[in-house]
Each structure stands twice: as structure tokens, then as C-alpha cells.
């Protein structure tokens, strides 16, 4: 089955113009794509690809702290304040450094590509990685969790989450583009169809003495995806960066 690219034409045009301007100025512009593939009885019955539009304030605040060597500070989660917001709703803002998007174990750097660090959750683990949901509230820059996460399990409305696949990095020498694919399978053993309307990227962080779960991206699907009973869903995020040289 051919993958259907669903990004609206005007949106795609805008993204390509932004990427082109970045290349002309020598400023790498990150791009992110989301693929949803539904497999039933060994055959693909749905496969679409769209742009991922929604890295959140958590992701950008972390990037800012790393580039500027500034500690998190504040008690609210809004513009002008450098804080993080856990998926529980707790705001982190003591005057300490923090890091996400990397492998952290026992207060020391670990393996960024290992299971249960960074994006790569193990089987049934929802403390990090790709998680899907059934909510369809609009994407929100200040979002910190899915509207309605679909939890691990085999009863009604639940999914069995597999361990993340190994992240796959690639280099296109012609376009000078580095990319990495982050993917996870989910199985529907609930006895009925499950409709998926949102997808989130979650990571484990190390923020002083805490190891929270942080949502760094959320996408509302267009179109939404129906996963039949006994079906399997593969979700893939591909993050790409085109270098000037």
C-alpha cells in the first residue's frame, strides 16, 4: 500500500520555503515528519505521513538552557519564564540546571539510545517514548500531556505497547541532511476498534533530584486513525536537519 502524504498544500509550501531560506542563510532548519501505519493480518490497511508541527515549550525551554547555560527559574509555565512542566502538571523551576532528550541513569550520563532512557521506552513502559491518545483538542505550545492517553493493557480501550525500535540515523551527502527515525509498534488486543487522534513524544529527564516524564511534542492527527481489533500500529517520527556544509 502506498503511503499517503496528507500535509495541506499551503502548509507544505510554507515549510519548504522556510527550509530553503535556512539553506540560503546557512542556518539549519529542523524538520519533523510523522508516519502512521496500520497493519492487519500481515497487510498494511492504512499508511499516511504528515508534518509534525508541535514541539512544545518544554522542548524549546530545554534547548535554551543548554545553549545559554542558564538554570531553570520560576513558578509558572508561560512566556518569559524558564521552567519545565511534567506530564503530571507539576511545574519545575528551582534555580538548578536540568537536562532532557538524553540518556540519564542514576544521576549520571547513560546511553541515549538505550531502552528506558530518552525516547526509547521498553515493552509496556509509558514513562517515555511515543504514546498515542484519543483526544482531539487543538495542538498547544504549552501542552504537557496528551488530552486522553491510551494506556497499556489488553482490555477495552487499551493498547499493548512494544519496546521502541533502535533509532536509525542516516546521512544524505547530496542534500547534507542528517536524519533519525524514532519508531514504536502498538498492538490492539482489546476486543474492539480503537480510534487514535493524537500522538505525543515523551522523554525522561534529570532535573536536579527528579527523573520526570516530559512531553516535548504533540500532534493531532489528520486524518484520525482507526486501529481494528488484532491490528498493529507503527508510529514513526523522523527528525531531519539540513546542514550548510
The answer to whether residue 107 scores a pLDDT higher than 70 is no
- Comparing 61 with 107, which gets the higher pLDDT? 61
* Cell 538548578 -> residue: 96
What pLDDT was estimated at residue 111? 66
User: Does 102 score more than 80 pLDDT?
Assistant: no
pLDDT single digits (tens) 111-164: 677 777 777 899 999 989 999 999 999 999 999 999 999 999 999 999 999 999
Task: Look at residue 117 in the predicted model and tell me its pLDDT.
Answer: 72
pLDDT in tens, 191-241: 999 999 999 999 887 766 677 889 999 999 989 999 999 999 999 999 999
Tell me the pLDDT tens digit for each residue of 156-180: 999 999 999 999 999 999 999 999 9
The percentage of residues in the chain with a pLDDT greater than 90, rounded to a whole number, is 73
Q: Tell me which of 3-7, 60-64, 104-108 is least confident.
A: 104-108
Greater confidence (19 vs 98) lies with: 19
Give this prediction's pTM.
0.92
Q: Over the stretch 48-76, which tens digit does the pLDDT of each residue have?
A: 999 998 899 999 998 888 888 888 889 99
Q: 203 Cβ partners below 8 Å, 6+ apart?
A: 100, 101, 118, 119, 128, 213, 214, 216
Count how many residues are written for the chain: 245
Residue 67 backbone phi and psi in degrees, to 5 = -80, -25
Mean pLDDT of the chain: 90
Closest listed residue to residue 195, CA positions, set 237, 236, 157? 157
**Radius of gyration of the chain from its Cα atoms, rounded to whole angstroms:** 18
**4-5 and 43-51 strand pairing:** parallel
CA–CA separation, 56 and 60 (whole Å): 7
pLDDT of residue 160: 99
182 CB contacts (<8 Å, ≥6 apart)?
119, 120, 130, 164, 167, 201, 236, 237, 238, 239
Whole-number Å distance between alpha carbons of 123 and 185: 10
Give me the torsion for CA of 135, 140, 145, 147, rounded to 10°: -20
| Residue 17 pLDDT level (bands cut at 50, 70, 90) | very high
Rounded Cα distance between 244 and 206, Å, is 32
**Which pLDDT belongs to residue 1?**
84
At residue 108, the pLDDT reads 52
Give pLDDT, residue 70.
87
Range with the poorest average pLDDT among 68-77, 89-98, 102-111, 219-228? 102-111
Rounded CA gap, 237 and 97, in Å? Answer: 28
- Write down the pLDDT at residue 114: 75
- Identify the residue with better confidence: 104 or 23: 23
Amino acid at each position: 500500500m502506498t503511503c499517503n502524504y496528507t500535509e495541506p498544500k499551503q502548509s507544505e509550501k510554507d515549510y519548504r520555503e522556510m527550509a530553503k531560506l535556512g539553506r540560503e542563510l546557512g542556518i539549519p532548519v529542523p524538520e519533523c515528519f510523522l508516519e502512521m501505519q496500520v497493519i492487519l493480518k500481515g497487510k498494511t490497511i492504512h499508511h499516511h505521513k504528515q508534518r509534525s508541527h508541535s514541539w512544545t515549550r518544554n522542548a524549546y525551554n530545554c534547548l535554551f538552557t543548554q545553549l545559554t547555560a542558564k538554570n531553570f527559574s520560576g513558578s509558572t509555565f508561560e512566556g518569559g519564564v524558564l521552567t519545565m512542566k511534567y506530564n503530571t502538571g507539576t511545574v519545575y523551576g528551582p534555580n538548578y540546571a536540568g537536562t532532557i532528550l538524553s540518556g540519564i541513569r542514576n544521576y549520571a550520563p547513560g546511553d541515549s539510545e538505550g531502552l528506558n532512557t530518552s525516547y526509547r521506552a521498553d515493552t509496556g513502559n509509558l514513562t517515555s517514548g511515543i504514546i498515542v491518545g484519543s483526544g482531539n483538542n487543538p495542538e498547544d505550545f504549552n501542552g504537557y500531556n496528551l488530552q486522553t492517553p491510551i494506556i497499556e493493557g489488553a482490555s477495552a480501550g487499551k493498547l499493548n505497547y512494544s519496546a521502541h525500535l533502535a533509532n536509525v540515523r542516516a546521512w544524505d551527502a547530496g542534500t547534507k541532511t542528517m536524519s533519525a527515525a524514532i519508531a514504536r509498534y502498538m498492538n490492539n488486543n482489546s476486543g474492539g476498534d480503537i480510534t487514535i487522534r493524537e500522538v505525543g513524544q515523551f522523554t525522561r529527564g534529570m532535573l536536579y533530584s527528579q527523573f520526570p516524564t516530559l512531553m516535548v511534542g504533540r500532534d493531532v492527527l489528520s486524518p484520525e486513525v482507526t486501529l481494528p481489533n488484532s491490528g498493529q500500529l507503527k508510529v514513526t517520527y523522523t527528525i531531519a536537519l539540513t546542514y550548510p556544509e
